[in-house]
Chains A and B, each alone.
Chain A
Amino acid sequence: MGISLHHISKSFKSVTALKDISFDVKSGELFGLIGPDGAGKTTLFRVLTTLLLADEGTASVAGMDVVTDYKAIRNSVGYMPGRFSLYHDLTVEENLNFFATIFNTTLEENYDLIKEIYVQIEPFKNRRAGKLSGGMKQKLALCCALIHKPKVLFLDEPTTGVDPVSRKEFWEMLKRLQQKDITMLVSTAYMDEASLCDRVALIQDGTILEIDTPQRIIEKFPRTIYNVKASETYRLLKDLEKYEATHSVYPFGEFLHFTSKDAAFTSEELIQFLEQEHHTEIEVSEAIPTIEDSFMTLSKEHSNNGN
């Protein structure tokens, strides 16, 4: 009784935001919706939280239909939208009490659930929400979304614009919440966060490119990736873009990730080519694919198929 979508589509005037989306999130699962800005993530969240009607298809959350049971769903899900949506001119404590009252509960009743997060902002409980730092706002928003002990929690890009340290802490917090039997759907544009989810859906242009565990998505990567490095990175990139054996070449941290069209390709051929082009300090080694490699390959195939 997690989340279930069947052939959901939604358009706004000329823009198709979601195209025939189907997938299931199991009860208790931490499920990631991974895709860039404009992929359709927020539209999907709004359909599932009963704020928007889909044009086609059906969906259920915690066993309830998003159209016919919308009132019951609103009582049993938590939603943390991408944009900070608490009351800026209420204090931390007032915001929490406000949301608790709306859901007919109290801060004390579900204190156990939010305790660990709330103690971090409790010293500022008399401060107005608008005056909090980004990290603290995020923690308060999460507390407010949890105050009524929801069965399903929707988190729309909770880590966008957040630095790597705070991002890591936030995910650790989600992992601990998962232990308390809450199903979570989290969206992010940071591909490296995929590995922290049980399963992920890669989404672009309103279409699901792939759904699986992060590990299996990586295992399915169809080619050998080489880490390539030389003293002049930009010239290396330009030369590899022209190289006839190249299937793809992308900057990837301190290396370039290179794949070849030819299945029998060897690193010796690559080194030979680079020496011919007078590159120095050449390093070539096999790399382990990442979700980002998979995403780029799938998204390229998707656009080549005329989508």
Chain B
Amino acid sequence: METKNAILVKNLSKRFGDFTAVNAITFEVKKGEIFGFLGANGAGKTTAMKMLIGISKPSEGTATVAGFDVKTQSEAVKKSIGYMSQRFTLYDDLTIKENIAFFGGIYGLSNEKIKEKTALLIDELGLHDKASNLVRSLPLGWKQKVAFSVALLHEPKIVFLDEPTGGVDPITRRQFWEMIYREANKGTTIFVTTHYMDEAEYCDRVSIMVEGKIEALDSPKKLKKQFKVDSMNEVFLKLARNIE
């Protein structure tokens, strides 16, 4: 089934008891788009993302990811997406090569394919002298770059990145975004959360969640115009002020 939307969300809600974490959100993400999913701590970003990657059941509403319904086809959703977060990335006590082989195996890649991918990935990242080192010994920025490549091993149509650059040094943070650009250029859809507002500017479109609802959604340029400010940081401060 060919559509031009990678993600289609309609009135999606999630309730925990009488607390509504996500409140009837509606949006779509186009194929090949870099979509920034922003919001203050506790605004409901993580809960929404969990529903989209098929690990949390919506209370109401529908969401289609890569053409599959997150409620009824969550296994198919999981197979067609990549996911990485700041917290869970790679196994510290395995080497880079072992991590690639491990995750390649999980995603059902053949041994031959794993070999080919390993060579390619190590080449692209310029990690020849470090490929047999334990992941633990890598600086955080490098770990995140490897984790991103690993999330792409099975050539998913959509990648979800949950605060991938928190605490990463400024140069590596930019190299990471170059990887994102390159991947989006190949047609992969990128769904990313961040607390760095300069990174919000790199997105094609950005949504801002406030107390479970999407309060703004547009290109950074149009959002800045709409709120009559010069940066995404100011847009964010205007919208998300006084919530706690």
Contacts and interface: CB of A to CB of B under 8 A. Distances in A.
Interface residues of B, number: 41
Contact of B40 (A36, A165, A234, A292): A165
Contacts of B174: 250-251
Contacts, number: 99
Interface string A114-135: 0000000000000000000111
A306 interface: no
B177 interface: yes
Contacts of B202: 233, 251
A253 B43 CA distance: 23
A165 B236 contact: yes
Contact of B231 (A37, A136, A253): A253
Interface string B170-197: 1110100110011011000000000111
B131 interface: no
A250 B178 CA distance: 9
B237 A165 contact: yes
14 contacts: A36-B141, A37-B168, A39-B169, A162-B41, A163-B39, A163-B41, A163-B236, A168-B237, A233-B181, A234-B182, A251-B202, A253-B231, A254-B221, A299-B171
A36 B244 CA distance: 28
Identify the 3 closest CB pairs spanning chains A and B, nearest first. Answer: A36-B169, A37-B167, A163-B40
Nearest to A133: B42
Contacts of B243: 165
Interface of B: 39-43, 86, 139-141, 163, 166-172, 174, 177-178, 181-182, 184-185, 195-198, 201-202, 220-221, 231-233, 236-237, 240-241, 243-244
B195 A162 contact: yes
Nearest to A160: B167
B167 A296 contact: no
Most chain B CB within a 10 A radius of its CB, from A133, A136, A250, A295? A250
A204 B139 CA distance: 11
Nearest to B232: A253
